[in-house]
Amino acid sequence: MNPTVASSQGNGDMARRLAVARGDEPADLVLKGGRVLSVFTGEVFGADVAVAGEHIAGLGSYQGISEADVSGHVLVPGLLDAHMHLESTKLMVDEFARAVLPHGTTTVIIDPHEVANVFGLRGVRALLESAGDVPLDYYVMVPSCVPASRFESSGATVTAEDVGEFLREQPEAIGLAEVMDFPGVVAGDPGLLAKLATTRAAGRHLDGHAPGLSGHALNAYLATGIGSDHECTDAAEALEKRRLGMWIMIREGSAACNLEALLPVVLEHGPRNSMLCTDDREPGDLLHDGHMDSVVRKAIRLGCDPADAIVMATLNTARWHRRHDHGAIAPWYVADVVAVPDLREFRPAKVWKRGRLVASDGEAVPIPKVRAPQWMHDSVRIPVVSAADFRIPDGGRVRVIGVEPGSLTTRALVAEPGHRNGDATADPDRDLAKVARSRSGPGEGRRDRTAPGNRPHRDRVRLRFRASPRRAWLHHRARRTQPRRGRRE
């Protein structure tokens, strides 16, 4: 859904809403007989919810043209995901909406940096355009690091000028996404500082990415105006950042699960400056566990007051991201409402998006089918490989990437690989596995970028050995047979 168009309010809309709020005219929709959670006070109280157009007109006793009986339910605001990558779900905007609407998610703040890594901001524009008729609000934070660092390669580059132009053109672009190159920020890299300054000059805000940053370096990072972080992995780190005014996004995704470690900060100091997000959630987890509702349920199971858990998934996220008409059930707010039979169990039964019923009893309403533009197709081209391409002559000990379950933090280790017939091999008994990376995007890592399907030379595979304490990683990298100018291998 195009939230900017949807939120446009003429005098006629406001006059109609006022007439409904006063009780002079019937509401378009009234949710009757339920109780409402106030995210401002934590109270649950009985009230009808009157909707005029796409906004809430009032709470109290109302009559409507259409009425829905929500007796026995608590009404809470639609859930917001404070930070996520749509690419991790492997779903387009329509199928993602179909998956998460029944779970109460009505708004997501996306950082489509993988789309940008391949297609640049042209791809992000196409993604936003495709969401126009989907009953879910997609707001985008402009990818800040494309490529992610000087050690990475990508099919596109996003400069400060690109960021500024995108922010001027796209009202759904609300800020600069996680600034991952935190060493560059702290060191005062001119290109990064230009992106930050451009975003601030456009009146937008800055999301952070600062794993383990502390002390003077953290102060330097915050001195640029960056104000949030979703990379905290322990309570001490989160508390230090909150003390300095940072907004903490507590991440509970598929690979990184930090809620249990960080929730003690909320339990001791309250939910202020705290939000919930998924960051990366795989489609299997969406299917079996849910989306933001599962994060709320886990927080409650871990001892969080239900009202505080919901505030972190609604009002706090809306406030940090300057979506001031989202995140509450109150007059003027967007009519995003979730009905749950029990706050502690938190199982959404019905979901309304901007005053329209979009999900009931675990099923979403029919959603218009979306297809990516043709020029975005055929963007993944992996060269033909055989078992021989993955052979590495035995050369003794290997570098190991230590993977920690439920965390993105890794350790640099060295270990002895398996040995067979003169080759270095994986060792399942020690959970030492191989991983392969193929350079596959359109023009990835090359100055002479070509469109999908126009590649003149066949890639070949070059192997590199790495590993992990729980997984040993074997990288094969598909590289062009022609040497690339101006880049050292």
Contact partners, residue 417, CB within 8 Å, separation at least 6: 394, 397, 398, 424, 425, 426, 427, 432, 465, 467, 472
* Strands 418-420 vs 423-425: parallel, antiparallel or unpaired: antiparallel
Contact indicator for 131, 170 with CB cutoff of 8 Å: no
Q: In order along the chain (489 residues), what is the average pLDDT of each group of 10 residues?
A: 58 91 98 98 98 98 98 98 96 97 98 92 94 96 84 82 95 94 95 96 97 97 98 97 98 95 98 97 94 98 98 98 98 98 98 98 95 88 81 84 79 88 88 75 43 36 39 33 32
Give the pLDDT of residue 297. Answer: 98
User: What is the C-alpha separation between 385 and 76, in angstroms, rounded?
Assistant: 52
If you count them, how many residues does the chain have? Answer: 489
pTM: 0.85
The residue ranges of every structural domain in the chain are: 77-323, 378-479
Q: Which two tokens stand for residue 377?
A: 């197709």
Phi, psi angle pair for 462, to nearest 5°: -120, 135
Q: Which two tokens stand for residue 332?
A: 């003027």
Give the pLDDT of residue 9. Answer: 54
CATH topology of domain 77-323: TIM Barrel (3.20.20)
Q: Which two tokens stand for residue 64?
A: 């409507």
Give the pLDDT of residue 57. Answer: 98
Give the pLDDT of residue 442. Answer: 52
User: What is the C-alpha separation between 302 and 296, in angstroms, rounded?
Assistant: 10
Give the pLDDT of residue 99. Answer: 97
Give the pLDDT of residue 484. Answer: 34
